[in-house]
């Protein structure tokens, strides 16, 4: 329902404010009151008319990247129109504002940067961080997404260009969960880059310096977290696309100091677990009876394995029994207990019973007889025809998830996996793929996209005022998502709901995570009705308010 909003800005200042600007939708009365005559063409359009015109223009553009750039221009000039576009055509817009197109946008960020959005906190200016954050424009911030740009999707170090990821993630908080865009803040911690192409590019917008490491880096992160806590004591801080060497240690260091989580570790784990729980529930199976090969032993792979391990423990398996069901590999082969330099998570899943045998992927798959194969390797084509056919020989419904993104880095295509498994595999990918033609029917390809989890979790945090984010909240979020699986009611259905239902998903995830937060004691107790009312009271919808002059 439209409401009346008191606005102090007028003229060009109002038109330059993306959250308040309506473009040609300002009424004649508003144009008079806010000194807009002459600054706008004569025509007055509705939001619907603006959406139709914008869609027509977008559809005529030659490539997804061109559409991404234009959408960012719309976002920087009229946020209400931008989110109206996203909410009304989310299936088409999601790949444009996030993976896979956001990968190219990060690589070319220095080319497309035009207007300030978010904050670039660079190491040389670390002493002024408090002053930068003190800007009154950020008084209402409630969710921050931060990256240092070192591990962007499967593309590696993109330096300051990593800003495309926080911008994209926060647009999904608003689109999927209705969190008002003026309560969100994207941040890049510019600690340099080791990408030689960027360092040698005269147009590069970031700090032209090799990445800082060690105590200097840790001190910079500490300074940032301390400044955020002082500025916004109750903010939700979302870490994104840090290197494996930094992601888990940062999370462990700060998870008990403020309300914070790492989406690559915990969000990826939750949505993957939800998809696998959906598969097992539909076929009356238990995860503890499955054998899992994890191809990729970075922070995402370890995070997924940890949550799946917890599912097995919840099903009654002992830790020894559950761990025996995991085989984790990286570029050097199977992770063995006697390998030097293992992280805590890698050491947990390292094998101790694999003596004097080859540790390559093919041998591990053959001897383990895995029924679940998950790829977070970032390397295209590792799930070969032989690997998939061998799985299908001993497993009636193999679960195969090539999760690396963007699309060009996927371990296999859904089309190949289905062909090689005689159309029996349960497949979910990390990036969007076109539908498949199976038995004369069009079948949507599931996408294990973190957008199924983090927007709802953010909505939970804002609605409950939770002081911490617990692992059990992510498990609850996974189970909440799994409860919506179409496969539960239809043997030919998908593992996950369509992305057109992401708003419904966000509400279900928010409620599930919030109930767990209450149980974990990290927020006050709420009745179910109170909780739903608090969630709905937060939700912002992209509609124009009526403005009156202050």
Mean pLDDT of 264-273: 97
C-alpha to C-alpha distances, 280 to 274, 276, 394, 418, 513, nearest whole angstrom: 10, 6, 17, 19, 21
pLDDT of amino acid 499 = 94
Question: Which one is catalytic: 22, 83, 98, 173?
Answer: 98
Is 56 in the active site?
no
pLDDT of amino acid 281 = 80
- Compute how many other C-beta atoms are within 10 angstroms of the C-beta atom of residue 472: 15
364: phi then psi, degrees, rounded to nearest 5: -60, -45
Q: Which residue has the higher pLDDT, 519 or 153?
A: 519
pLDDT of amino acid 195 = 98
Distance, CA of 523 to CA of 229 (rounded, Å)? 18
Domains of the chain with CATH codes = 98-258 (3.40.50.10380), 266-451 (3.40.50.720), 452-531 (no CATH)
Residues belonging to the binding site are 151, 240-241, 264, 405, 449
pTM of the shown model:
0.94
C-alpha to C-alpha distances, 480 to 93, 233, 449, 515, nearest whole angstrom: 25, 29, 15, 11
Q: Which of 171-185, 433-447, 454-468 has the lowest mean pLDDT?
A: 433-447
Mean pLDDT of 425-436: 93
- Residue 529 burial class via C-beta count within 10 angstroms: exposed 0-12, middle 13-18, buried 19 and up: exposed
pLDDT tens digit sequence for 357-406:
999 999 999 999 999 999 999 999 999 999 999 999 999 999 999 999 88
Question: Which one is catalytic: 169, 217, 288, 327?
Answer: 169
Sign of CA dihedral 318, 324, 325, 329: positive
Locus of tokens 């041998």: 363
Is 98 in the active site?
yes
- Of the pLDDT bands very low, low, confident and very high (cuts 50, 70, 90), residue 218 is very high
pLDDT of amino acid 1 = 54
Are 329 and 361 in contact by the 8 Å Cβ rule? The answer is yes
Sign of CA dihedral 249, 252, 254, 260: positive
Are 382 and 295 in contact by the 8 Å Cβ rule? The answer is yes
- Residue 197 burial class via C-beta count within 10 angstroms: exposed 0-12, middle 13-18, buried 19 and up: exposed
What is residue 277's three-state secondary structure?
helix
- Residue 132 burial class via C-beta count within 10 angstroms: exposed 0-12, middle 13-18, buried 19 and up: middle
- Of the pLDDT bands very low, low, confident and very high (cuts 50, 70, 90), residue 438 is confident
pLDDT at 290 over 60: yes
- Of the pLDDT bands very low, low, confident and very high (cuts 50, 70, 90), residue 283 is confident
**DSSP secondary structure, 155-193, as one string:** S---GGGGGHHHHHHHHHHHHHH---GGGEEEEEEE---
Residues belonging to the binding site for (S)-malate are 151, 405, 449
Distance, CA of 139 to CA of 149 (rounded, Å)? 25
What is residue 544's three-state secondary structure?
coil
Are 158 and 152 in contact by the 8 Å Cβ rule? The answer is yes
Mean pLDDT of 183-211: 97
Among candidate residues 66, 77, 79, the one with its CA nearest the CA of residue 105? 66
Distance, CA of 257 to CA of 386 (rounded, Å)? 48
Among candidate residues 493, 514, 490, 278, the one with its CA nearest the CA of residue 401? 278
pLDDT tens digit sequence for 293-351:
999 999 999 999 999 999 999 999 999 999 999 999 999 999 999 999 999 999 999 99
Tokens linked to 100: 């896979």
Residues belonging to the binding site for a divalent metal cation are 240-241, 264
């Amino acid at each position: 329902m439209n409401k009346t909003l008191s606005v102090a800005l007028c003229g060009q200042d109002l038109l330059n404010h993306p959250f308040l600007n309506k473009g040609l939708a300002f009424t004649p009365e508003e144009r008079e009151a806010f000194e807009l005559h002459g600054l706008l063409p004569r025509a007055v359009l509705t939001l619907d008319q603006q959406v139709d015109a914008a869609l027509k223009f977008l559809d005529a553009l030659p490539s997804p990247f061109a559409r991404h750039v234009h959408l960012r221009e719309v976002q920087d000039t009229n946020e209400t129109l931008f989110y109206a576009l996203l909410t009304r055509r989310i299936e088409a817009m999601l790949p444009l504002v996030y993976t896979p197109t956001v990968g190219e946008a990060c690589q070319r960020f220095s080319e497309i940067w035009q207007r300030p959005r978010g904050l670039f906190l660079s190491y040389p200016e670390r002493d002024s961080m408090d002053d930068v954050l003190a800007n009154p424009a950020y008084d209402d911030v409630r969710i921050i997404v931060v990256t240092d740009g070192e591990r962007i999707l499967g593309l590696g170090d993109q330096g300051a260009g990593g800003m495309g990821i926080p911008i994209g993630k926060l647009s999904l908080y608003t689109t999927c969960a209705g969190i008002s865009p003026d309560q969100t803040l994207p941040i890049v911690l510019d600690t340099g880059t080791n990408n030689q192409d960027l360092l040698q590019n005269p147009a590069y917008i970031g700090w032209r310096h090799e990445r800082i490491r060690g105590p200097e880096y840790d001190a910079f992160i500490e300074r940032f977290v301390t400044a955020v806590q002082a500025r916004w004591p109750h903010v939700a801080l979302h870490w994104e696309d840090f290197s494996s060497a930094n992601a888990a240690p940062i999370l462990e260091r700060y998870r008990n100091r403020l309300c914070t989580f790492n989406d690559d570790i915990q969000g990826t784990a939750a949505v993957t677990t939800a998809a696998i729980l959906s598969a097992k529930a539909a076929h009356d199976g238990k995860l503890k009876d499955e054998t899992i090969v994890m191809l990729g032993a970075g922070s995402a792979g370890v995070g997924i394995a940890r949550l799946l391990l917890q599912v097995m423990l919840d099903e009654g398996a002992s830790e020894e029994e559950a761990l025996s069901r995991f085989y984790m590999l990286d570029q050097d082969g199977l992770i063995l207990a006697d390998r030097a330099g293992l992280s805590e998570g890698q050491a947990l899943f390292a094998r101790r019973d694999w003596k004097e045998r080859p540790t390559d992927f093919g041998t591990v798959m053959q001897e383990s007889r895995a029924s679940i194969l998950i790829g977070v390797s970032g390397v295209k084509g590792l799930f070969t025809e032989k690997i998939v056919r061998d799985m299908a020989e001993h497993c009636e419904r193999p679960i195969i998830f090539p999760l690396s993104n963007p699309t060009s880095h996927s371990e296999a295509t859904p089309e190949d996996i289905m062909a090689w498994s005689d159309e029996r595999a349960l497949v979910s990918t990390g990036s969007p793929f076109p539908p498949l033609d199976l038995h004369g029917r069009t079948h949507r390809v599931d996408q294990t996209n973190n957008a199924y989890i983090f927007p709802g979790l953010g909505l939970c945090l804002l609605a409950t005022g939770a002081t911490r984010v617990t692992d059990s909240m992510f498990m609850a979020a996974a189970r909440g998502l799994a409860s919506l699986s179409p496969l539960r009611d239809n043997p030919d259905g998908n593992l996950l709901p369509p992305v057109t239902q992401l708003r419904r998903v966000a509400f279900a995830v928010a409620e599930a995570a919030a109930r767990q937060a209450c149980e974990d004691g990290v927020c006050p107790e709420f009745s179910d009705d109170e909780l739903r009312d608090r969630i709905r009271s937060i939700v912002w919808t992209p509609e124009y308010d009526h403005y009156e002059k202050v």
